[in-house]
């Protein structure tokens, strides 16, 4: 068999290879087993910024959502205007000094510029970014004083909360998945440059949990009926029950899903407020009735369609 020197050489080579892989992948905690993922009982999502208008709330181009569980307050993207993020947060009764961490979906300005406001109210907080985010924008975020953590693979942040590993659009982009007990995954996306159906599919594959709801930008402005149909079919085949296309989704996909699949479509805009609570679903289920989203989710009734440019 092997001589002693050869064995030592093989062991050293293996160790060097492992160190190399660690440096490439980064200091993340990739999912080991879906058993580790866990569940949470309830999540609240508030759309702090979106270009789809609602009353007196500010609606500059971009998106930002506050994701609240019993234990964590997560800011997902920060929109394009720091003042608008601050003003809307206050108007919606949300205190961003309570944010535990920030997730930036991808490097585009309409998701990152609001970090200037976050730096004022929550200096030094952890900001999770795609591992392959451009160096320039990552350095800018670091220069705002944040603790930037790069994520490559699907990573569990705490029980029931995971970042879905980055996909390439361009640019590289990741998403958030919250696992609500007895309901399934609530998937939060930024622009979906790699395709919203691909983010959801990766979440389902990596986490082995069925999807329930997806909200965010789908980046399909002007894509056309064929793409609208293919995207919607993919989401429905994956098992998504409710679809909230906002931000850069485009009026076309909103109109398409609303027309052909109204039971799956939900209109979202700045100020949209969702409460997804497993205890409500459990109560409804105990009566032998399929959970109805209206019982779980509230949305504002003022939400006009308004044509905006896509990013």
Helices (H), the chain: 4-25, 82-91, 109-112, 115-121, 135-143, 196-207, 225-238, 251-260, 278-286, 293-296
Nearer to Fe ion, 130 or 184 (CB): 130
x/- mask, Fe ion, residues 182-221, rule CB under 5 A, reads ---------x------------------------------
Q: Which stretch binds Fe ion (CB under 5 A): 197-205, 222-230, 246-254, 258-266?
A: 246-254
Q: Which stretch binds Fe ion (CB under 5 A): 3-11, 39-47, 177-185, 248-256?
A: 248-256
Contact 132, 159 (CB under 8 A): no
67-80: buried (b, 16+ CB within 10 Å) or exposed (e) per residue? Answer: bbbeebbbbbbbbb
Asked if residue 311 binds Fe ion (CB under 5 A), the reply is: yes
Minimum Å gap between C-beta 169 and Fe ion is 8
Contact 218, 196 (CB under 8 A): yes
Minimum Å gap between C-beta 48 and Fe ion is 14
Nearer to Fe ion, 166 or 277 (CB): 166
Asked if residue 254 binds Fe ion (CB under 5 A), the reply is: no
Window 21 to 60, contacts with Fe ion (CB under 5 A): none
Nearer to Fe ion, 88 or 311 (CB): 311
Nearer to Fe ion, 124 or 170 (CB): 170
Q: Which stretch binds Fe ion (CB under 5 A): 141-149, 245-253, 261-269, 273-281?
A: 245-253
The residue from 68, 107, 110, 166 that contacts Fe ion (CB under 5 A) is: 110
Window 113 to 142, contacts with Fe ion (CB under 5 A): none
150-180: buried (b, 16+ CB within 10 Å) or exposed (e) per residue? Answer: bbbbbbbbeebbbbbbbbebebbbbbbbbbb
Nearer to Fe ion, 4 or 309 (CB): 309
Contact 62, 79 (CB under 8 A): yes
Instruction: Annotate 85-114 with DSSP letters as a single string.
Output: HHHHHHHTT--GGG--EEE--SS-HHHHTT
Q: Which stretch binds Fe ion (CB under 5 A): 47-55, 88-96, 108-116, 207-215?
A: 108-116
Cβ neighbors of 82 (< 8 A, separation 6 or more) are: 113, 114, 115, 116, 117, 120
Among the listed residues 83, 82, 117, 81, the one whose alpha carbon sits nearest the alpha carbon of residue 99: 117
Asked if residue 248 binds Fe ion (CB under 5 A), the reply is: yes
Asked if residue 108 binds Fe ion (CB under 5 A), the reply is: yes
Residues that bind Fe ion (CB under 5 A): 108, 110, 191, 248, 311
């Amino acid at each position: 068999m092997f001589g002693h020197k050869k064995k030592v050489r093989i062991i050293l080579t293996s160790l060097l290879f492992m160190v190399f892989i660690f440096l490439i992948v980064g200091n993340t905690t990739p999912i080991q087993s879906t058993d580790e993922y866990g569940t949470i009982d309830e999540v609240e999502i508030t759309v702090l910024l979106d270009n789809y208008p609602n009353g007196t709330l500010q609606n500059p181009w971009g998106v930002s959502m506050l994701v609240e569980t019993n234990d964590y307050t997560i800011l997902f993207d920060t929109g394009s205007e720091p003042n608008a993020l601050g003003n809307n947060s206050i108007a919606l009764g949300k205190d961003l000094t309570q944010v535990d961490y920030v997730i930036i979906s991808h490097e585009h300005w309409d998701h990152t510029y609001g970090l200037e406001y976050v730096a004022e109210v929550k200096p030094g907080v952890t900001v999770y970014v795609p591992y392959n985010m451009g160096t320039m924008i990552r350095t800018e975020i670091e220069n705002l004083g944040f603790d930037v953590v790069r994520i490559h693979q699907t990573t569990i942040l705490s029980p029931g909360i995971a970042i879905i590993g980055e996909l390439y659009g361009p640019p590289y982009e990741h998403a958030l998945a919250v696992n609500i007990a007895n309901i399934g995954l609530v998937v939060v996306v930024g622009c979906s440059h790699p395709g919203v159906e691909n983010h959801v599919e990766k979440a389902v594959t990596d986490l082995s949990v069925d999807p329930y709801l997806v909200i965010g930008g789908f980046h399909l402005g002007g894509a056309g009926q064929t793409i609208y149909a293919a995207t919607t079919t993919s989401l429905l085949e994956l098992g998504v029950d409710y679809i909230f296309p906002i931000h850069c989704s485009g009026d076309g996909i909103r109109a398409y899903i609303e027309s052909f699949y109204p039971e799956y479509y939900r209109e979202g805009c700045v100020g949209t407020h969702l409460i997804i609570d497993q205890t409500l679903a459990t109560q409804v289920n105990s009566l032998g009735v399929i959970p109805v989203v209206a019982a779980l989710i509230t949305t504002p009734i003022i939400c006009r369609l308004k044509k905006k440019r896509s990013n």
